[in-house]
Each structure stands twice: as structure tokens, then as C-alpha cells.
Structure 1
Amino acid sequence: MSVLQLARPEIVALAPYSSARMEARGGAIFLNANESPWPPPQDAGRGLNRYPEPQPDALLQRLARIYGVRSEQVLVGRGSDEAIDLLVRAFCRAGVDAVLISPPTFGMYAVCARTQGATVTEVPLRDDCLLDIDAVLAAVTPALKLVFVCSPNNPSGGLVPLAEIERLARALDGRALLIVDEAYIEYAEAISATTLLHRHENLGVLRTLSKAWALAGARIGALLAAPEIIALLRRIMPPYPLPTPSVQAALAALQPEAQALMGTRVAATLRERARVAAALAAMAGVRVVLPSRANFIAFRIDDAANHYTHLQANGVVLRDIGRYPHLAGYLRLSIGLPEENDRALALLARAKVSA
């Protein structure tokens, strides 16, 4: 069967909006989009008076090379969030279809599903905060259209082995799409699920430039999937999702010399991750330090609320993740510069003494 048989039939039949920029290929004088012919002050040649390309070809080509896919397998949008929302809207009918998540995990999967009126099926992580593959498969129903797997997982940091991802994709073939969120994969020292795309048309992989590529403020993410899925989502995507400055920032960050710098910074983050994890494990009051394959560490500490408040009062902000299943009493520390990490560790030690 075609993977599009899983999509909403009215979306498959939808005539997409045709933007003015789609008509502009080869043009030199643009009189079709009701734009100002004058650039704004301080434009510096960026062409901000013109609408950007709906899917900038230069960016698609560069991401395709980096991720090892074809450009027609890439959809770029405003962070991974936009792709998550588009997937839910394209494949889930309100009040009929369902998505599956494994909490504790990234909250936008459930937010997008509930906004669309789709049912959210929850299969919690195991007590060790790893994915329960058998439980996920046991929860599959005819209503299920999307299965979201975050690997490395946010907020716990665990990685789903590639063999397990392929097992899921194979079991869900013809039944649901498997969407693997790899926002933190650059820190995992692991093979990406993109290597499986050529074998499983029901597999999609989310990537982002917000983390290792240091472009959180540019808001650029990508979905890598079968060309049919990419084409379908483009039908319902806003016509100009990426601002021109964001595209320019991304192209600069993806230059070869910038890629090398990114690799150096990732290596530094991994060294700091190991150092901070060891320091936390040796700290009085810290009960658990979860193994992490991301650029953060989740840890359980006595009187977590007091520690969180103490650090924030001293200008250091961690994330309180105690509301998540299995994570009562946990804080999450994003790996910063060495001096920032040292400050956080010192404050944690002092907060425990003063508690």
C-alpha cells in the first residue's frame, strides 16, 4: 500500500495554495506578489522586501547532503514543532485518529495532537526511562496513525537503538507512521535513523539546527521522509515558513568550516557532560544521574524544589522536570560552558548545605 493511504483523504485531494514566489523562477522583475519595490532601510542587500522561497533550494540541497538523503526527502520549517503539527494535521482526523507517545517525552507531540482533536495514547517509558518496544506494539490500534519516538529522549536523555527503531518501523508498516525525533542525535555518537529511510516509507526523522548547530533563535528544523509525505505536507504548509535572515544564518552555519567548528563544540560538550555527570554522582543528596546521550543531564536530588529555587535566585536556571512520569524530584541541567557548569555545581552543593 502507499503510505498516503494513511493520510486524511481530504488532505490528499486538497489543491494546495500557489504562492507568488512559486511563479518567480527565472524572473528578473517581480510584479506579481504585491511587494514593495524598495528594500527597507539597512537592508544590506538581504532582499527583505521580497518574499522568501517556500522551500529554499540551497538550504534543501545542503541539508540533504549533511543528512545523507535526497532533497525531495527534506521539508524545512519553523523548528521541529512545525513538522510535528503538519504531520498530525495531515494524518489525524479529529475525534477519529490517534497518536502514540511515550512519556516522559517532548511535550509538543501531545499538544499538537490534542489541538487537532486526535486521541493521545500514552505508553510510558520503563522504570529505567527507556522505550518499551513491546508495550508500544501492544498498544497499536486501527485508529493509530502516528507513533512519536524521541531519541535521544527529552527530558531523560536515553537513546533508542537503531535495531529497535527498525523493528518498530517494520511492525508498523501499513498501519502507522513512525516519526523519530533526533533533535539531539549529534551528541549521541550514534547512527541516525535516516539510514533506514530507504527501506521504510512509513518512517520519518525530525532534525533541527537549534541544538548542536547553535541556531535556536533562527527556528529551523527539518523532516526527512519519503517524497510522497514531504509533498503532502507542503500542501498544507504556510507559503513562506522561513524568514530570509533565518535561511541566510542556516546557510552560513552549514558551510564546511562552520561544520568543523560544530564538531569541535560537540566534542567539548561531550567532555563536559561526562565531567558534570561524575560531579553530580559524587554530590551529597544526588540519588540518581540518568545516563544521557544528549546535551543535558537529568538527575534526582533531595529537596529538588529548594535547589531549583536557590539556583534561580543566584542567576542559574535549570529545568524542573519533576512533573513528568518517573521523574519526581528530578532536575535537568543543560551542558553549558565549563565555567557555567562549575557555577551550577557549586550552587547545588551550597543549596544542599543550606537546605
Structure 2
Amino acid sequence: MTSDPVLSLVRAEILALTPYSSARKEASGGKVWLDANENPSTPHAGAPRLNRYPEPQPAEVVARLASLYGVKPDRILVTRGSDEGIDLLLRAFCRAGQDSILTTPPTYGMYSVAAAIQGARALTVPLVREKDFAVDPDAVIRAITPETKLVFLCSPNNPTGQLLDRDAVLKVVTALATRAVVVVDEAYAEFSTEPSLVQELDANPNLVVLRTLSKAYGLAGARVGVTLASPQLIGVLQKIIAPYPIPAPVVRAALDALTPAGISAARQSALDLVGERRRLTAALVKLPHVRKIWPSDANFLLVEVTDSARVMNIARAAGLVIRDRSKDVPNTVRITIGTRAENDFALETLARV
């Protein structure tokens, strides 16, 4: 048993687990590498040198992410997208057929999918539509059971776009300090002007924050996610993550993105997309079939229309790919903010509805 209230929520068999020790974990800095059964060369001419396994957690990537988010490196785990971070948390905390998570729909679907894969129940406390999909912290706290191990809050929320109220989120975190881990998914944080909850990690050991390089940094194809948590919890997740999760080409892409020039470019890109978000909102709201556009702190808009099926049919016929979110919010589509030309094409297409 552990005296740490957060670690006491972790599955006992995971706490007791002796993790796999990879060759790269056991040795570094050598001259001749004969420990990992690798090919000593790359046989096919012209191919990049990928014959060696990468670092399990690339030290320079971790260091640059720590600097970017203002935390110590031992609070960071680099994953294959935030989805892997979600999956690791479910595997670490939830016993199949016994434990549960809590989500606040409409929200990102992978939380409940990961729970189903793990055999955990997904409790739900819907966001309050009448308040632009605000979270009800008291309802969340009341819904927690002794078997609820994880609470997932997406802020800015996908698919609705709004930032969750910071005080409401922290109320949940504080109330559940010894009862559950609160996971705040900040995949779209760069498109908001509000400060990240990463700065609250020191005061709240049961808080986990998920970040990604997929959105503002434009590396969706590389799959670089970041889980930020207490060093103790990061240590637990390191027990169960795959031995070499970040391929060498992805490491290089991440390092390029995390240079001062790369960070500056990402921030400018986010500002440009926010400007386009405002322009697209102002134009869409004038269309007669658009009923409502929810305020967005992300790089997309949730738009309520009179007939989402008709909108989707016309969009598909024109080659415009948008997302029907009617199963989450009736008669809605989600439109990602693209380039100015892409947004103009979307407006021209949707004006024909």
C-alpha cells in the first residue's frame, strides 16, 4: 500500500509491476552498440539511418517541452498523440468490470472509447447547453462514486469549442483531491488567451494536463502528445508505455518545431487562425440556414443549422469536408478553421444551401 492518495487510486498490480527494461534504458553514450539486436547498418541505399532504436523518452524533446510549458522534465511523458496518454491513464487506474470514468458530453469521444476497451464504465454529466455548454462542477462532484478513478474535462472542449470555466474546473480538482484524478485535455489551448492549468500542477497532485503538437504546431501526422502530471504519476505511466513510443523521424520533427523559431511560428499560426475564426464566424452568421454559432476558443466552430443532412450533402458534393456532429448536438456541423482560401471555399459552398 502507498500513503500517496493519488497513487492509492492506481491499480495495485500496476504499482507492483516490474516494467520492461529496454536496451536504450540500460545503456547510453557507448561507441559500439551490440546490445539491442539491431542491424549495424541501413542496407538499402539512400534511406535515412533508422537502424538504431530511439530513446524511450527523447531527452532533448522532453527538455524543450518542459521549457515550453514551464515545468520540470520529470513532470512530462511524451506519447504517440494525446490518445496514447488517455489510454495509459485508463490502463493505469481502471480495473475491468469494476472501475469507472466520468465525462461531460458533448465532448471528445476517445475518453469513453478508451474506457470501453479497458472494460470500465463511463459515467456522464452533460455540459449545460443553455449556458453555452458550461460545466456544472457540483453535478460532477455529486456523480462521483468510490469506483470513479478518472474525470475527463476537455478545455477548450471538442466539439463545442468553448473554454471551461477555470474556477469550476479547479473546484472539481480540489473536491476530488483524494478521490479521483482529474484529466484536463488542453489540445486546443494555444487558440485561447486564457492561461493553461499546467501552472496548477504543483498545488494539485490529482491533476493531469494533456497537451499536443498536433494543432497549433501542425504536427498531427507526427503524433506527438504530452502528458503532464506529478513525477510520481509520470513514473507509473512510464511502467506501461511501450519501450520506444517516439520514432526517430518524429523526434526530429518535434525538435524542429520546438526551436525558438518553431515556437514563434506556431504562435503566429494560432493568431492567424484566430483571426480567420472571427472572419468565418461573422460571415457564417449571416447565412439564412445558420441558427447559431457557439463561441469558440479553439480552431473550429460548432454551427447549428436548419438541416444538417442537407448541409452535409451539399458540402460533400462540392468536395468540402466538414464534420456532422448531430449525434452530439442536433443539427450541428463542426467546421475547422483553414487557410483564407479554404475558408472562402467553405463560405461559397455553404451559401448555396
* Bucket of the pairwise TM-score, normalised by the shorter protein: over 0.9
Deviations 1:215-243 (A, max 9, x none): 00000101000001101011011101111
| Cα 1:333–1:42 shift into 2, 3 Å | farther
Partner of 1:249: 253
Partner of 1:16: 19
Matches within 5 A, 1:48-67: 48-67=50-69
Question: How far apart are residue 40 of structure 1 and its match?
Answer: 4.5
2:71 to 69, 86, 94: 69
- Are residues 1:33 and 2:17 paired? no
Deviations 1:233-288 (A, max 9, x none): 11011101111101100100111011111111111101100111111111111101
1:303 aligned partner, one-letter code: D
Partner of 2:338: 336
In 2: Cα distance, 1:342 partner to 1:132 partner: 37
Partner of 1:210: 214
Partner of 2:113: 111
Partner of 1:164: 168
- Structure 1 SS opposite 2:134: coil
1:108 aligned partner, one-letter code: M
Partner of 2:286: 282
In 2: Cα distance, 1:102 partner to 1:162 partner: 15
Question: How far apart are residue 132 of structure 1 and its match?
Answer: 1.6
Deviations 1:297-324 (A, max 9, x none): 0001111111111111111100000011
2:125 to 120, 123, 144: 123
In 2: Cα distance, 1:159 partner to 1:152 partner: 4
Partner of 1:153: 157
2:268 aligned partner, one-letter code: T
In 1: Cα distance, 2:243 partner to 2:119 partner: 24
Deviations 1:34-83 (A, max 9, x none): 10000253566x53100111100000000000011110000011000001
In 2: Cα distance, 1:213 partner to 1:228 partner: 28
In 2: Cα distance, 1:63 partner to 1:47 partner: 25
Query: Kindly, what percent of the aligned residue pairs are identical?
Result: 49
Does the CA-based 8 Å contact 1:162-1:191 persist in structure 2?
Answer: no
Does the CA-based 8 Å contact 2:134-2:165 persist in structure 1?
Answer: no
Question: How far apart are residue 142 of structure 1 and its match?
Answer: 0.5
In 2: Cα distance, 1:139 partner to 1:151 partner: 20
Tell me the TM-score normalised to structure 1 length: 0.96
In 2: Cα distance, 1:131 partner to 1:212 partner: 25
Question: How far apart are residue 26 of structure 1 and its match?
Answer: 2.0
Deviations 1:131-186 (A, max 9, x none): 12111111011111000000000000011122222211110100000000000000
Does the CA-based 8 Å contact 2:135-2:168 persist in structure 1?
Answer: no
In 1: Cα distance, 2:87 partner to 2:159 partner: 20
- Structure 2 SS opposite 1:80: helix
- Structure 1 SS opposite 2:351: helix
- Are residues 1:137 and 2:141 paired? yes
Tell me the TM-score normalised to structure 2 length: 0.97
Partner of 2:348: 346
In 1: Cα distance, 2:78 partner to 2:351 partner: 43
Does the CA-based 8 Å contact 2:174-2:204 persist in structure 1?
Answer: yes
- Are residues 1:301 and 2:305 paired? yes
Partner of 2:9: 6
| Cα 1:43–1:192 shift into 2, 3 Å | farther
Of the structure 1 ranges 66-75 and 275-284, higher mean CA displacement relative to structure 2 is found in 275-284
In 2: Cα distance, 1:237 partner to 1:301 partner: 43
Unaligned ranges ≥5, structure 1: none
| Cα 1:17–1:43 shift into 2, 3 Å | farther
In 2: Cα distance, 1:281 partner to 1:166 partner: 34
Partner of 2:316: 312
- Are residues 1:193 and 2:194 paired? no
